[in-house]
Amino acid sequence: MNKLKQKSILGIAVAILGIGAMALPLGAQQQPQQASPQSSSEGGVVVQGVTKPFVEAHPWFNQAGTIYEVPVVKGQVVKKGDVIIKQDDRIEKAILSEKDAEANSTARIDAAVGDLKIKKAQLERLLSLQKTGGANPFEIEEAQSKVIYGDATVQVETLNRDKAKYEAEAQRVKVEQMTIKSSVDGRVESIDVAVGDVTDPQHPVISIVQNDPLKVQFFIPIAQANKLKVGDDVQVRYPGEENWYPAKLTVKNPLADPASDTQEINLEMKNADNRDSGMQVQVRLPASVGPATPSVPGTASAEQK
C-alpha cells in the first residue's frame, strides 16, 4: 500500500513538473525577440530595420467649420498642391468680396480730394478779396482751417483704403486656410472626417504619407553607431530578395538610449517601385563598423536580461 502511495505521489509530481515545463516556453514567446546579427558574404554586418514614410503630414483646420468637400479617398495618390479636403467657405468668400470691393474703391478718396480742391479755391478767392478789403481776417482763418481739415480728410481716407486692403488680404488668407492642399507628393493614409462634420481646430482631419524616398530606421549599439557618420553609404534589402538598394545615412539621433545601450540611425532610400512603408528590411553596414546586435526600441539588450 505504501508503495502504491509513493507511485501516485511520484506521478502527480511528474505531471506538475511537466505542466511547468510546458508553461515556460509560452511565457518566453511573449517577450520581444531580438534579431541575431548576420555576417554578409560580401563583407559587413546585416542588421534589421524598418521602412518609414519620408514625410507624414497631418494637417488640420485652425478654425471650426463644416466639412464641405472631401475629393480624395484613402490610399489615393496625390500631388503637392492638390485639394484634399475643404470647409464650407461660402460666407467667408462673400465677406472677402465685400472687403475687396472696399479695398479697390477710390470713391471716398476721390470725394475727399474734390472737397479739398473746392476749399482751396474758396481760400484763394478770399485772399484775393482781402487785398481790396472784400474779406475780413475771420473769413480767411475759417477758410484756412477748412483747407487743413480737407487735407487731413484725404489722408484719413487714404489710410482707410490701405486698412481695407490689409483686411481683405487677411480675409483672403482665412478663406485659403479653409481649403487644405497636399504639402507633398504622396498617398492618403487616413481621412478622419466626413462631409457635414464640424471640425475641431485641435485635431488633424487627414493624413498624407510620402513614401518616395523612404526613411529606413534601425537601432544598433552605441559603440557601433559611433563608427558611422552622416553621409555614409549603406545598402538595404527586403527579406527574401536578392537585390540590395543603395541608401544614405541622414540622421544619427543625438540622444542615445543608455537603458538599452543603443542609438537610432535613419537612412534615406529611393523608392522607384513605390513600395509601401512599414516594411521590415535588412541593412548591410560597412565592415569597419564591426559586429552589431540590432535591437528593438524599448527592449533591453541580451546582457541586461
pLDDT (tens digit per residue) in 149-206 = 999 999 999 999 999 999 999 999 999 999 999 999 999 999 999 999 999 999 999 9
Confirm whether 62 is domain-assigned: no
Confirm whether 102 is domain-assigned: yes
Confirm whether 100 is domain-assigned: yes
The answer to whether the beta carbons of residues 217 and 86 sit under 8 Å apart is no
From first to last of its 305 residues, the chain has per-residue pLDDT tens of 444 444 444 444 434 444 343 333 333 333 333 334 455 545 578 999 999 999 999 999 999 999 999 999 999 999 999 999 999 999 999 999 999 999 999 999 999 999 999 999 999 999 999 888 888 889 999 999 999 999 999 999 999 999 999 999 999 999 999 999 999 999 999 999 999 999 999 999 999 999 999 999 999 999 999 999 999 999 999 999 999 999 999 999 999 999 999 999 999 999 999 999 999 999 999 888 876 454 444 433 333 33
Quote the cell numbers at residue 224: 557601433
Confirm whether 139 is domain-assigned: yes
pLDDT tens for 8-20 read: 444 444 344 443 4
Number of neighbouring beta carbons within 10 Å of residue 120: 16
Domain count, the chain: 1
How many Cα atoms occupy the beta-carbon half-sphere of 220 within 13 Å? 24
Confirm whether 216 is domain-assigned: no
How far is Cα 271 from Cα 245, in angstroms, rounded to an integer? 9
How many Cα atoms occupy the beta-carbon half-sphere of 249 within 13 Å? 20
Confirm whether 293 is domain-assigned: no
Nearest residue to 108 via CA among 144, 146, 157, 35: 157
Confirm whether 280 is domain-assigned: no
How far is Cα 180 from Cα 79, in angstroms, rounded to an integer? 13
Confirm whether 6 is domain-assigned: no
Domain range spanning residue 112?
90-176
pTM score, two decimals?
0.69
